[in-house]
Amino acid sequence: METLGWIAFGSIIAAGLCMGIGAIGPAIGEGMALSRALSSIAQQPDETNTIVKFLFVGMAMVESTAIYCFVLAMILLFANPFWSYFLEKAGG
Amino acid sequence: METLGWIAFGSIIAAGLCMGIGAIGPAIGEGMALSRALSSIAQQPDETNTIVKFLFVGMAMVESTAIYCFVLAMILLFANPFWSYFLEKAGG
Amino acid sequence: METLGWIAFGSIIAAGLCMGIGAIGPAIGEGMALSRALSSIAQQPDETNTIVKFLFVGMAMVESTAIYCFVLAMILLFANPFWSYFLEKAGG
Amino acid sequence: METLGWIAFGSIIAAGLCMGIGAIGPAIGEGMALSRALSSIAQQPDETNTIVKFLFVGMAMVESTAIYCFVLAMILLFANPFWSYFLEKAGG
Amino acid sequence: METLGWIAFGSIIAAGLCMGIGAIGPAIGEGMALSRALSSIAQQPDETNTIVKFLFVGMAMVESTAIYCFVLAMILLFANPFWSYFLEKAGG
Amino acid sequence: METLGWIAFGSIIAAGLCMGIGAIGPAIGEGMALSRALSSIAQQPDETNTIVKFLFVGMAMVESTAIYCFVLAMILLFANPFWSYFLEKAGG
Amino acid sequence: METLGWIAFGSIIAAGLCMGIGAIGPAIGEGMALSRALSSIAQQPDETNTIVKFLFVGMAMVESTAIYCFVLAMILLFANPFWSYFLEKAGG
Amino acid sequence: METLGWIAFGSIIAAGLCMGIGAIGPAIGEGMALSRALSSIAQQPDETNTIVKFLFVGMAMVESTAIYCFVLAMILLFANPFWSYFLEKAGG
Amino acid sequence: METLGWIAFGSIIAAGLCMGIGAIGPAIGEGMALSRALSSIAQQPDETNTIVKFLFVGMAMVESTAIYCFVLAMILLFANPFWSYFLEKAGG
Amino acid sequence: METLGWIAFGSIIAAGLCMGIGAIGPAIGEGMALSRALSSIAQQPDETNTIVKFLFVGMAMVESTAIYCFVLAMILLFANPFWSYFLEKAGG
Amino acid sequence: METLGWIAFGSIIAAGLCMGIGAIGPAIGEGMALSRALSSIAQQPDETNTIVKFLFVGMAMVESTAIYCFVLAMILLFANPFWSYFLEKAGG
Amino acid sequence: METLGWIAFGSIIAAGLCMGIGAIGPAIGEGMALSRALSSIAQQPDETNTIVKFLFVGMAMVESTAIYCFVLAMILLFANPFWSYFLEKAGG
Amino acid sequence: METLGWIAFGSIIAAGLCMGIGAIGPAIGEGMALSRALSSIAQQPDETNTIVKFLFVGMAMVESTAIYCFVLAMILLFANPFWSYFLEKAGG
Amino acid sequence: METLGWIAFGSIIAAGLCMGIGAIGPAIGEGMALSRALSSIAQQPDETNTIVKFLFVGMAMVESTAIYCFVLAMILLFANPFWSYFLEKAGG
């Protein structure tokens, strides 16, 4: 397998593992926040608006770590600088 | 095995592991949120609508990390840029 | 072993691991939700209908991550795009 | 070992691991639900029927993830599309 | 070692791991249910019959995941379709 | 090493791991049930007979998963169908 | 190394791992039961005889999983059917 | 594969693992902080502004560890000093 | 390295791992029992004799799993049947 | 691949793992401190200034372990003494 | 490397791992017992003598599992029967 | 790759792993201490000075284990005695 | 590499792992005992002398498992019987 | 790579792992002790001197396990007896 193939192979494996492992943390973190928010709403219904507003802002922040992983996986697949270089070299 | 075969082999393994590992977190996170929501409903039946509304919005957000994994697995299988390239080269 | 064989071998292993690992999270998540729901019913029998309705909607959502894994395993076994390509090439 | 043998070997290993790992989650999830249900019955004997009805519906749902694994293992052993192909090719 | 030997070797290893790993979950799940049931009987002796009836129905359901593993191990050892095929081929 | 030797080698390793790993779950599960049963007896001495009766029935059920492992290990060592076949072939 | 040597080597490793891993579960399970029994005796000294009787019967049951491992290790070392066969063959 | 290829391959794998593993901690840490903040708001609505202000400052600090990982992954992909050197040498 | 050397090498490794891993469980189990016993004595000084008597009988039982491991390690080192056989063969 | 390439390859992998693993601890540690600080503010609003001051000083200290990892990764990439030596030798 | 060297190499590795892994359990077990004993003394100063007496007898028992490991490591290093045999053979 | 290269390669990997793994413990330990200190300040504002003084002295002590790791990593990179020796030999 | 080199190499690795792994348990065990002792002193200042006396005696006992590891590492490095033998043979 | 190189390579890896793994336990143990000490000071300010005195004596003892690791790493790097021997031999 030539170099171009190894770069593609490595990018596919790295993207898959990065997204797979990186989805564990955010999902559990958001689940904890969400579960606590819902029981807080039940205890303090008057504060629903405040709690929900900051819940979603906060979850967006937690989600950001998952998005970093997704962005990195997308970069590895669609905007991989190493792939571009070797592609250009192979095509030259 | 030629390069095309390795790309396919790698994509299959990466898609399988990404989805398999990536399903652990969201499922546990949603389970925590759901279980707390149900006991909140039992304690505060009047708030059922509010709790349920935000529960499903929040679970959709947690689910999003699983969906990232699923999307990535689908991209690896059906819209793999590396596969497209090597396919084109092999067919050229 | 020719390329066709490796694609089949990889798909089988990936499908098995994806489903096996992916069944851990949803089952535990649903178990947590179910156990909390049942004790909520015992504490608040009047809310049984509400709790049960949202329990099953929520469990269906948790189940969805297991279904993603199952769908992916089925795709790998029965609608594998890489297999189709190599099959066609081998048959051509 | 020819390709046919590797497909068989891979299917056996994948079926064993898929079922073995996939039995951990559902069993623990059902155990949690069952244990909470029984203590709820003890606290609220009047609700026994309701609790038990939803316990078994819910456990069936949790069990479904174990069944996915079992179904996949059965497919790998008895309805393996890759095996069928190679068998036909070997027999042709 | 010829193909027939590898199929036998793989089946033995897969059966052993499947049963060994698959016994962890059900045993812990049943232990949790049993321990909670016994303390419920102690708290509510009048409900002993109800609790015990559903305990054993539920434990049978949890046990089912261990039985899936055992069945699969038995299939791999005594009704292995791949073994049958290669045996027939070798004997033919 | 001929095929017969590999079958024996694999059976020994699989039997050892199956029993070793498979003993973790039942022992912990039974320990949980036993410990809760004893504290229940202390709290409700009048129910000793009921608790003990169902404790041992239940522990037998938990023990069954350990026994599955032991049975499988025994089958692998003393009634291994693959060994029988190769033995017969070697002796024929 | 001839086949006889591999059988011996495998039996030694399998016996060691089986006993080593298999000792974790029973010891922790018995420790849990024992610790709870002692605090029950302290709370309910009048029930000492009952608690102790069932503690030791129960611990014997938990111990049984460790004994399965020990028995298997002994079988592998002193009554190994595969060793007997190869020994006989080598001596014949 | 020449040196340039190995540098690219290593950078891709290292970037993927660094981001994947590095997303677990911050997401869980932020989830803990967020969940506690929301329940604090519910208990002390008057302090909402103070809590939220420091929540987001603190989460930004936790997020910084995820950002270190992202920055490192970006450096490895787009500003890799080793790649630059070998590229220059190869192009020279 | 001849067969005799491999048997010795395997016995040494197996004995070391068996004892090392097998010491984790009993030590933690006995620690749990001991810690609970001491706090029970503090709460119920009058029962010191009873508690201590059964504590040491119980700890001896927990210790037995460690002793199984030690016995097995000693057998592997000093009464290894495989070693005896090969020694005799080598000396014959 | 010449020595220079291996040094670069090793530095990339080491930097990635160091930062990835090293981000888990600080993020969880800071998350714990932050979550407790916010609930303390809610309980004792008058102490907000004191709590926040020491929270950020303390988090900076926890952050320092993540910064050690980042610094080390940067040294490995941009100020690697081994790379400098081999670069000089290669260029000499 | 001749057989004598491998025996020595294996003994060193086995002794190191046996002691290293075997020190985890006893230390944690004794730590649990000690911490509970000290808080019992604080609660019941009059029982100090009884508690301390049985604490040290019990800790000696827990320590015994660490001592088994140490003894085994010493045997492997200084009284290794396999080493003695090969030494004698080499010296003969 | 000559010896000098391997020494450099090993030092880089060892420094990266040492710092990466060694940052987990101190960060979590400091996080626990900090979180408890802040809630103590909230409960006992009058003791703020005492608590904070000993908090930072104690955290410095916990930090010391991270610093040992950092120092070791720095020694491996910048004051490595083995590198010095081989460098001198290579340059001699 | 001659035998003498392998013995040295193995001793270094075994000493490092033995001490590294063996330091986890005692440090956590002593931390638990120390933390409980300090809170006991706070609750029962009059018993400070008794608690502290037995705390340090007990911690010395826990420390002993770490010392076993250290002693073993020292023996492996400075009083290694296998090294002495091979050294003598090499020097003879 | 000659023997001298392997000894250096092994010492570097062993020192790095020993310090890295060995820093986890002490840091967490000290963190537990410190956090409990601070909350004890808050509850019992009058005992500050006593608590702090024994806290630092105790933490020094916990720290000792980290110091053992550091000492061992230093010995491996700067006073390695095996290195001295081979160095002398190489220089002789």
At L23, phi and psi to the nearest 5? -90, -15
Is 70 exceeded by the pLDDT of residue C58? yes
pLDDT at B88: 85
How many of the other CB atoms lie within 10 Å of CB of F78? 13
Residues of I within 8 A of G27 (CB-CB) are 25-26, 28-30, 62, 65-66
State chain K's mean pLDDT as an integer.
Answer: 90
At CA F62, angle to CA F60 and CA F66, rounded to 5? 95
Chain F adjacent subunits, 3+ CB pairs under 8 A: E, G
Q: In Å, what is the CA distance from L27 to each residue of A76, C36, J30, N24?
A: 31, 34, 8, 10
Q: Can you say whether residue K80 is alpha, beta or left, with left for phi > 0 and alpha for psi between -120 and 50 degrees? A: beta
Is 90 exceeded by the pLDDT of residue K27? yes
Q: Which of F89, F92, F24 is nearest to F62 (CA)?
A: F24
Q: Which of G77, F33, A66, G1 is nearest to H70 (CA)?
A: A66
Q: Sign of the C-alpha dihedral, residues N63, N65, N71, N76?
A: negative
| ipTM rounded to 2 decimals | 0.88
Residues of K within 8 A of I79 (CB-CB) are none
Kindly report, residue by residue over M18-55, the tens digit of the pLDDT. Answer: 999 999 999 999 999 999 999 999 888 888 898 999 99
How many of the other CB atoms lie within 10 Å of CB of M74? 17
Contact by Cβ (8 Å): D14, D76: yes
Among candidates F15, F47, F64 on the partner chain, residue whose Cβ is nearest the Cβ of E16: F15
DSSP code of residue N46: G
For residue J21, give the amino acid letter: I
Among candidates B17, B50, B85 on the partner chain, residue whose Cβ is nearest the Cβ of A45: B50
The band of C92, judged by pLDDT with boundaries at 50, 70 and 90, is low
Tokens of E58: 């539920």
pLDDT at E1: 61
pLDDT greater at residue N92 or residue B81: B81
Q: CA-CA distance, E59 to E31, in Å (whole number)?
A: 9
Q: Is E4 domain-assigned?
A: no
Q: Is C27 domain-assigned?
A: yes
Tokens of A75: 């970069």
Is 70 exceeded by the pLDDT of residue J1? no
For residue K73, give the amino acid letter: A
Kindly report, residue by residue over N48-91, the tens digit of the pLDDT. Answer: 898 999 999 999 999 999 999 999 999 999 999 998 888 888 77
Work out the minimum CA distance from E91 to partner chain D, whole angstroms: 16
Q: Is F69 within 8 Å of E4 when comparing Cβ atoms? A: no
Q: Is I32 within 8 Å of G37 when comparing Cβ atoms? A: no
pLDDT at I1: 61
Work out the minimum CA distance from C43 to partner chain B, whole angstroms: 7
Q: Is C7 domain-assigned?
A: no
pLDDT at J59: 93
Q: CA-CA distance, G8 to F77, in Å (whole number)?
A: 14
State chain L's mean pLDDT as an integer.
Answer: 90
Is 70 exceeded by the pLDDT of residue K1? no
Q: CA-CA distance, I66 to G27, in Å (whole number)?
A: 8
* Percentage of residues of chain M with pLDDT beyond 90: 67
Q: Which of D22, C29, H9, H23 is nearest to B69 (CA)?
A: H23
Among candidates N31, N68, N86 on the partner chain, residue whose Cβ is nearest the Cβ of M70: N68
pLDDT at A1: 61
Kindly report, residue by residue over H40-86, the tens digit of the pLDDT. Answer: 998 888 888 989 999 999 999 999 999 999 999 999 999 999 988 88
Contact by Cβ (8 Å): M18, M73: yes
Is 90 exceeded by the pLDDT of residue B21? yes
Q: Is A6 domain-assigned?
A: no
Count: domains in chain A: 1
Chain L adjacent subunits, 3+ CB pairs under 8 A: J, N
Average pLDDT over residues K53-79: 93
Q: Is H35 within 8 Å of J35 when comparing Cβ atoms? A: yes
pLDDT at F33: 94
Residues of N within 8 A of M38 (CB-CB) are 33, 36-37, 40, 51, 54-55, 58
Kind and range of the H or E element at N79?
Answer: none
Contact by Cβ (8 Å): L30, L56: no
Kindly report, residue by residue over I28-85, the tens digit of the pLDDT. Answer: 999 999 999 999 998 888 888 989 999 999 999 999 999 999 999 999 999 999 988 8
I62: domain CATH number is: 1.20.20.10
Average pLDDT over residues K11-36: 94
pLDDT at D1: 61
Q: Is N39 domain-assigned?
A: yes
Kind and range of the H or E element at A36?
Answer: helix A24-43
pLDDT at E87: 85
Among candidates G39, G73, G87 on the partner chain, residue whose Cβ is nearest the Cβ of I40: G39
Average pLDDT over residues C74-89: 90
Q: Are G and F close enough to touch, i.e. 3+ CB pairs under 8 angstroms?
A: yes
Q: Are C and D close enough to touch, i.e. 3+ CB pairs under 8 angstroms?
A: yes
At CA M16, angle to CA M10 and CA M17, rounded to 5? 90
Q: Is D31 domain-assigned?
A: yes
Q: Is M30 within 8 Å of K31 when comparing Cβ atoms? A: yes
Q: Is B25 within 8 Å of A20 when comparing Cβ atoms? A: no
Give residue A32's Cα distance to chain centre. Answer: 18
Task: Output the furthest CA–CA distance in chain I (Å, rounded).
Answer: 67
Q: In Å, what is the CA distance from I14 to each residue of A77, B36, I7, M21?
A: 46, 48, 10, 19
Residue A60 contacts by C-beta under 8 Å, 6 or more apart in sequence? none
Kindly report, residue by residue over L50-86, the tens digit of the pLDDT. Answer: 899 999 999 999 999 999 999 999 999 999 999 888 8
Q: CA-CA distance, I70 to I59, in Å (whole number)?
A: 16
The band of B47, judged by pLDDT with boundaries at 50, 70 and 90, is confident
How many of the other CB atoms lie within 10 Å of CB of L79? 13
Minimum Cα–Cα distance from C63: chain B residue: B27
Contact by Cβ (8 Å): A39, B39: yes
At L46, phi and psi to the nearest 5? -65, -20
pLDDT at B91: 73
At B2, phi and psi to the nearest 5? -75, 170
Q: In Å, what is the CA distance from M38 to each residue of K35, K42, M51?
A: 10, 10, 9
Q: Which domain holds residue A68?
A: 12-90
Q: Is H1 domain-assigned?
A: no
Tokens of E69: 């593993």
pLDDT at A44: 86
The band of M1, judged by pLDDT with boundaries at 50, 70 and 90, is low
The band of E92, judged by pLDDT with boundaries at 50, 70 and 90, is low
Q: Is J77 domain-assigned?
A: yes
Three-class secondary structure assignment of N12-68? HHHHHHHHHHHCHHHHHHHHHHHHHHHHHHHHCHHHHHHHHHHHHHHHHHHHHHHHH
In which residue are the tokens 């179904």 written?
D71
Q: pLDDT (tens digit, 0 to 9) for every residue of chain A, 92 residues total?
A: 678 888 999 999 999 999 999 999 999 999 999 999 999 998 888 888 989 999 999 999 999 999 999 999 999 999 999 988 888 887 75
Residue B79 contacts by C-beta under 8 Å, 6 or more apart in sequence? none
Kindly report, residue by residue over F35-77, the tens digit of the pLDDT. Answer: 999 999 988 888 889 899 999 999 999 999 999 999 999 999 9
Is 70 exceeded by the pLDDT of residue F82? yes
Between helix I48-78 and helix G48-78 the angle, nearest 10°, is 0
Counting beta carbons within 10 angstroms of the beta carbon of residue A92, is it exposed (0 to 12), middle (13 to 18) or buried (19 or more)?
exposed
Torsion of CA C12, C64, C79, C8, to 10 degrees: -10
Minimum Cα–Cα distance from K64: chain M residue: M65
Is 80 exceeded by the pLDDT of residue I91? no
